[in-house]
Amino acid sequence: MSEQTFEATRAFIATASAEQVELIAAALRSRRLALRPAPADTTATSTSSLMKIARLGDSVQIARIQPQYLSGLTGTVINTRVTRVDIELDAKSTRKLARAKQTRFEVPAGATSFVIHGVHLNSLDIL
**pLDDT tens digit sequence for 7-20:** 888 888 899 888 88
Phi, psi of 80 (to 5 degrees): -120, 145
Classify residue 86 as exposed, middle or buried by CB count within 10 Å of its CB (0-12, 13-18, 19+).
middle
Residue-level pLDDT at 74: 97
Whether the model pTM is above 0.75: no
pLDDT at res. 1: 66
Q: What are the pLDDT digits (tens) for 16-32?
A: 888 888 878 777 777 77
